[in-house]
Amino acid sequence: MNREWGRLCELIQKRTSFVVVSHKNPDGDAIGSSLAMGRILRKKGKQVEIFNATPIPGNFTFLPDADLIKPLKETECEVLIALDCADFQRTGFDDSVRERVDVVVNIDHHETNTHFGDINIVDSDAAAVGCLMWQFVRYMDFPVDKDLATQIYAAILTDTGSFRYLTTTPKVLRTAAEILEYGVDPWYVAFNIYEERRLSTLRLLGLALSTLETYCDGKLALMCVTQKMYKETGTQTKSTEGFVNFARAVKGSEVGVLLREDEPSLFRVSIRSKGNMDVSQMAALFGGGGHKNASGCEIGGSLDEVKEKIIRAFSKVSDGRCSSHR
């Protein structure tokens, strides 16, 4: 790993123009890590653009420099840095972009990472890309200010489920404690991410909760958000951040699923599990991926068709334990 960090440091020293990008439908890890990388590069005097294919959720706009994340566009640069992307397609760029950049850097922690970069810094044991960013900061002895620390802390906080997931090791907690030494306000970060919502978002949540159903003898909990719900509440797809956790919270369930209709008859599927259930296998059946306890994919079709596909996928990866739908 140190060898790859060294190659990245050398690259930053020699090159001038950089693009930083993370996966579409970004979570806190993708957002915080992108902002941190952008901040490091700017402090190094580099030309930096930060892109994402979809708008960032409103509960992350409080982060320092969040307004610097721009919609994806055709670009040319010397170096493209992809963060938290298991494959290049997750960036939202098509492959032609690679012909217009000199070097692609891939920094990630997914087991399914395809090592698509010219430089690959991939550690599937890392709880978050934010943890890798902290390693990078420490490797290059970069001066840390409160804003940079806040960005990285938010990345780690969210990808460990507020330090509740199985990835929360003693090392992760020691890293978080070290980051807090730089003036991060943990309540301020947690409040903005988890505690404060627009009234319209809460109304959307109410509609989504009214769809909550269980299948497979209560082992699978499923809820949905439709285009009609967005229109009724004046909300957007980014308003659904964290909704899937309500499905996972159903007592007796092993897996919670949110079906989010991003476009007519196209659903973004978020899948979360408890314990040892590996939901990345479910997502992989539809060309998606992620982690053991948190994965996602996209599925086309009507709501009923997509529900049926998810139920069958759950049954398949749970060794046929779906003896009844309800």
* Whether residue 15 has pLDDT greater than 90: yes
177-184 contacts: CB < 8 A, separation 24 or more?
A: 178/134, 179/134, 179/149, 179/152, 179/153, 180/149, 180/153, 182/144, 182/145, 182/146, 182/148, 182/149, 183/146, 183/149, 184/146, 184/149, 184/150, 184/153
Q: Give the model confidence (pLDDT) of 94-149 as tens digits.
A: 988 888 999 999 999 998 899 999 999 999 999 999 999 999 999 999 999 999 99
Mean per-residue pLDDT, 220-231: 97
Neighbours of 234 (CB within 10 A): 13
Residues near 239 by Cβ (< 8 Å), separated by ≥ 6? 57, 58, 198, 200, 201, 204, 230, 233
Q: E strands within the chain?
A: 17-22, 47-52, 69-71, 79-83, 103-108, 119-122, 213-215, 220-225, 255-263, 266-273, 289-290, 294-300
Q: Give the model confidence (pLDDT) of 154-208 as tens digits.
A: 999 999 999 988 899 999 999 999 999 999 999 999 999 999 889 999 999 999 9
Q: Enumerate the CATH 3.90.1640.10 domain ranges in the chain, comma separated.
A: 2-193
Report the chain's mean pLDDT, rounded to a whole number.
Answer: 94
Q: Enumerate the CATH 3.10.310.30 domain ranges in the chain, comma separated.
A: 199-317
CATH code that applies to domain 2-193: 3.90.1640.10
* Whether residue 324 has pLDDT greater than 70: no
Residue among 121, 125, 134, 40 at smallest CA distance from 83: 121
Mean per-residue pLDDT, 245-254: 95
Do 259 and 224 contact (CB within 8 A), yes or no?
A: yes
Mean pLDDT lowest for which of 71-75, 83-87, 121-125, 242-246?
71-75
* Whether residue 276 has pLDDT greater than 60: yes
Percent of the chain scored above 70 by pLDDT?
98
Measured between alpha carbons, how far apart are the two ends of the chain, in Å? 48
- Integer Cα distance of 48 and 57 in angstroms: 22
Q: CATH says 199-317 is which class?
A: alpha beta
Secondary structure element (H or E) that encloses residue 205, with its range: helix 199-209
Residue among 171, 138, 131, 174 at smallest CA distance from 153: 131
Do 303 and 293 contact (CB within 8 A), yes or no?
A: no
Question: Which whole-number Å values give the CA distances from 203 to 165, 189, 209, 249, 302, in the listed order?
Answer: 28, 23, 10, 19, 24
Residue 13's Cβ-count burial label (10 Å; 0-12, 13-18, 19+) is exposed
What is the spatial order of strands in the sheet that 294-300 belongs to?
213-215, 220-225, 255-263, 266-273, 294-300, 289-290
Burial state string for 287-305 with b = 16 or more CB within 10 A and e = fewer than 16 = ebbbbbbbbbbbbeeeeee
- Integer Cα distance of 58 and 44 in angstroms: 29
